[in-house]
Amino acid sequence: MNAEARLRECLARIEARELEVRAFVHLDVDGALAQARALDAGAVRGPLHGLPLGVKDIFDTHDMPTECGSTIFAGHRPRVDAAAVALCRAAGAIVIGKTVTTEFANMTAGVTRNPHRLAHSPGGSSSGSAAAVADGMLPLALGTQTAGSLIRPAAYCGVVGFKPSFGRVPRAGVKPNADSMDTVGGFGRSVADAALLASVLTGDARLREWAVPERVRIGLAPGPDWAQADADVFACWEHAQRALAPQAARCEDAALPPDFADVAAVQAAIQAAETAQALAFEHRTHRASLSDALLALLDKGRAMDAETLAAHRARADRWRREVDALFDRHDVLLTPSTSGEAPAGLQFTGDPLFCRPWSLLGLPCVHLPFASGSNGLPLGLQLVGRHGDDHRLIAAAQWCMDRLA
């Protein structure tokens, strides 16, 4: 199928569903068609040749507005692409539009609805990207994660979300949130699709050249907040253990650090402090245009003293070393993605509780969509890998999906 034909299939789906799902804040149909025709007229450009791509609206794009989910940036037109967008275009992707984000990629919801049930949240902050891929509007979309903004919407919408290792993807041209955790990643309908996108973002060809291993060593890491998961997640967990353990090289509990119970609180505290720094201008000059929830976060972050922040960062550094040692025995850690199915209502994008530890530690994560909950909405679990072992994580993810789906 040529690029224009593939694009027209996506455009037809968008026309049929966008008024209900509301995944996009900006669409450039004419520009996308021009890109597709240019690609069809030339040689294959790269691994993403002719694939339509959605871009979360905190990424700069030279040909479309970048509004960051805030009226403060209404009509803002960058002059250059974010590095990740430029890499995707160079690899042949067709940027079809900008997808809805929560306010400055935080917790205040945008307008997007869950395509599986319109009265439920798609998650956040990469709401539009996850919903567009889940609904068949796009094969691939870009997102970011600071706490749970890739894995959580992937879980709620039932797609594969992949957060690479921290620092593997350039962040130039992406609106900052928390400098020590912000990570560019993306969504696909399969592990292979998400890995293909990540191979372009990271420049690591191993992410599209991997082979499924014969066996995988799995560390079970439900985490210190396991009691916050609901019965659907417990059932999903039991199903995964039954399916994976008999064929795994190892499937056993992973010994997380003894004081890991504080990890979510430490991540949230560091994020608040760093977000207050990143949004200092908006906080100082546009308070009236910020949501109450974001103002509370920024005020909390600004109130944190340097000694407290340094102590939090020291604990995070120690946990990174301690958790890294687990990967001497385990190839991957299996852990929840969310506490349950997508919540009803559109104002609450869900709790990133089960994603916070791995975002704090900068580890690569992939959501595996293989189940549904008692309300019939998507459910799954996430795999976490060693920092820098993204290609091995992806291979293990496919091994798991082959046995779970």
Which residue type is seen at 203?
G
CA-to-CA dists, residue 158 to 186, 189, 235, angstroms:
14, 9, 17
What phi and psi, each to the nearest 5 degrees, are found at residue 242? -65, -40
Element (H, E) at 356: helix 356-361
Residues ≥6 apart with Cβ < 8 Å to 199: 47, 205, 206, 207, 208
Q: Which of 56, 98, 163, 175 is catalytic?
A: 56
Query: What is the rounded distance in angstroms from the CA atom of residue 35 to the CA atom of residue 281?
Result: 36
DSSP 218-246: EEE---TTGGGS-HHHHHHHHHHHHHHGG
Residues ≥6 apart with Cβ < 8 Å to 79: 62
Q: Which of 70, 121, 125, 199 is catalytic?
A: 125
CA-to-CA dists, residue 197 to 34, 118, 194, 200, 202, angstroms:
22, 28, 5, 5, 9
Query: What is the rounded distance in angstroms from the CA atom of residue 343 to the CA atom of residue 121?
Result: 6
Identify whether 98 is a catalytic site residue. Answer: no
Identify whether 125 is a catalytic site residue. Answer: yes
Identify whether 149 is a catalytic site residue. Answer: yes
Element (H, E) at 324: helix 306-326
Question: How many separate helices (H) and strands (E) can be counted in the chain?
Answer: 13, 11
Please give the DSSP secondary-structure letter assigned to residue 73: G
Helix 191-202 to helix 390-404 angle, to the nearest 10 degrees? 170
Q: What is the largest CA-CA distance in the chain?
A: 59
Q: Which of 70, 126, 127, 149 is catalytic?
A: 149
SS3 content of the chain, % helix, strand, coil (to 5): 45, 15, 40
Task: Tell me the three state secondary structure of residue 259.
Answer: coil
Catalytic residue numbers, as ranges = 56, 125, 149
